[in-house]
């Protein structure tokens, strides 16, 4: 079930062990890409709200592909045309590529230029894990909005790099949701918690955070305790871990996009030091 039908609920002391202070990670070695705004003045960042034909989601990370284009990531199901429980991207309907996407903080609409759901259906994908968990889309920003953009995640900073080795049980994670259901209450947007590990041959991670993801948080950036980009918030689990969220693995999603329409797709590191659980 996607995040849209999720009813928000408070988590218990299961995350208490994760509240200890962690040392700040070093600033990423990569220099800020030319044309990006400083984090303090940027209006387009990971965590802004996106609206695709009325459906609201949360942007995850900033990407480039070597051609000069700049993208925001969101979940493929944000452009879905079926029911909220449709999670098989090899079967579910989607709005077409070229659909305009309103991005909060941008002066002009972005454009939906990649959807893992559309890509898998065109390719006749047979891998059931990919069909269920490859939930990734790209919004190409208008060139005039690149100067309003910064790749740093609000509150936490980073990402430092792309995580490529999955998560282990008990590993710390952070995320930043921006659902409109919070009515601007920013104190509930930063999320800290733990992973329950990686599954589906590396395609997904189950996490518990306080607070959990709610409708509109779909697509949110998820990072590990060192600031590496793990994935994108995609689903809510009812069983066996009620209140947990499913996270689609970003490294797998980038690799798939690179071989199905967006060659050279690269995560842009944040310009701000990752502070994690501090």
Give the model confidence (pLDDT) of 209-253 as tens digits.
Answer: 887 666 678 899 999 999 999 999 987 654 455 678 999 999 999
Give the model confidence (pLDDT) of 153-202 as tens digits.
Answer: 999 999 999 999 999 999 999 999 877 655 555 666 899 999 999 999 99
pLDDT at 20 over 90: no
Higher pLDDT, 217 or 264: 264
Joined together, the tokens standing for residue 236 give 């809510």
What's the pTM value of the predicted model, to 2 decimals?
Answer: 0.86
pLDDT at 79 over 80: yes
Residue 66: per-residue pLDDT: 83
Residue 174: per-residue pLDDT: 96
Kindly report the number of other CB atoms within 10 A of residue 219's CB atom.
31
CA 178 to chain centre: 11
Residue 28: per-residue pLDDT: 42
Mean pLDDT score, 125-154: 98
How far is Cα 220 from Cα 216, in angstroms, rounded to an integer?
9
**Residue 74 in contact with residue 63, Cβ under 8 Å?**
no
How far is Cα 51 from Cα 25, in angstroms, rounded to an integer?
33
Give the contacts of 109 (CB within 8 A, at least 6 positions apart): 100, 101, 102, 103, 142
How far is Cα 47 from Cα 175, in angstroms, rounded to an integer?
9
Range list of β-strands (E), 37-105: 49-52, 55-58, 62-64, 70-74, 100-103
The share of the chain scoring above pLDDT 90, in percent, equals 70
**What are the DSSP calls for 149-177, one per residue?**
B--PPTTT----EE--S---TT-EEEEE-
Domains recognised in the chain with CATH numbers: 13-23+153-249 (2.40.10.10), 49-148 (no CATH)
Q: To 5 degrees, how large is the angle CA 236–CA 220–CA 52?
A: 95
Joined together, the tokens standing for residue 112 give 């939906």
Mean pLDDT score, 136-152: 98
Give the contacts of 41 (CB within 8 A, at least 6 positions apart): none
């Amino acid at each position: 079930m996607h995040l849209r039908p999720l009813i928000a609920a408070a988590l218990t002391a299961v995350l208490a062990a994760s509240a200890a202070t962690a040392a700040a990670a070093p600033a990423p070695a990569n220099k800020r890409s030319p044309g990006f705004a400083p984090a303090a003045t940027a209006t387009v960042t990971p965590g802004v709200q996106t609206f695709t034909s009325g459906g609201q989601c949360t942007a995850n990370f900033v990407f480039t592909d070597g051609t000069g284009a700049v993208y925001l990531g969101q979940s493929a199901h944000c452009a879905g045309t079926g029911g909220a429980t449709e999670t098989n991207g090899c079967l579910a309907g989607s709005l077409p590529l070229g659909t305009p996407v309103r991005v909060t903080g941008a002066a002009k609409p972005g454009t939906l230029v990649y959807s893992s759901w559309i890509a898998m259906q065109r390719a006749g994908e047979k891998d059931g894990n990919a069909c269920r968990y490859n939930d990734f889309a790209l919004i190409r920003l208008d060139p005039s909005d690149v100067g309003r953009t910064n790749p740093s995640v609000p509150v936490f900073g980073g990402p430092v790099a792309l995580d490529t080795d999955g998560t282990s049980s008990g590993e710390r994670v952070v995320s930043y949701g921006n659902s409109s259901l919070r009515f601007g209450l920013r104190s509930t947007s930063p999320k800290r918690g733990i992973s329950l590990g990686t599954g589906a041959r590396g395609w997904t991670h189950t996490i518990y955070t306080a607070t959990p993801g709610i409708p509109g948080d779909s697509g949110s950036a998820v990072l590990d305790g060192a600031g590496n980009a793990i994935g994108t918030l995609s689903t809510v689990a009812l069983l066996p871990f009620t209140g947990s969220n499913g996270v689609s693995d970003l490294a797998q999603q980038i690799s798939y996009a690179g071989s199905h329409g967006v060659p050279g797709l690269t995560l842009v590191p944040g310009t701000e030091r990752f502070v994690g659980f501090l």
